[in-house]
Amino acid sequence: MLYAKTHVQTMAIGLIVGGAVGNIFDRMRQGAVTDFIDLHLGSWHWPTFNGADIAIVVGAAWVVFTSPRSPPDDSTR
């Protein structure tokens, strides 16, 4: 189970859930998720994505970077 320990983690989880709900809503309403952000730089092409995908990635990164790091367990030495 995922529990938020801080307000920052609560916001990050909110981004993840909100993005997922947005994609699910598109899938139910249209039968597919509408991706509309398409980035190119010369011949390089990033896969097309949408705002909900951005929220999911930012929220997940936020959870990872704000997670408390526990010190290594010394009892195994």
- Supply the residues annotated as catalytic: 35, 53
16's enclosing H/E stretch is helix 7-30
51's enclosing H/E stretch is helix 51-66
What is the spatial distance between Cα 20 and Cα 34, in angstroms, rounded to a whole number? Answer: 13
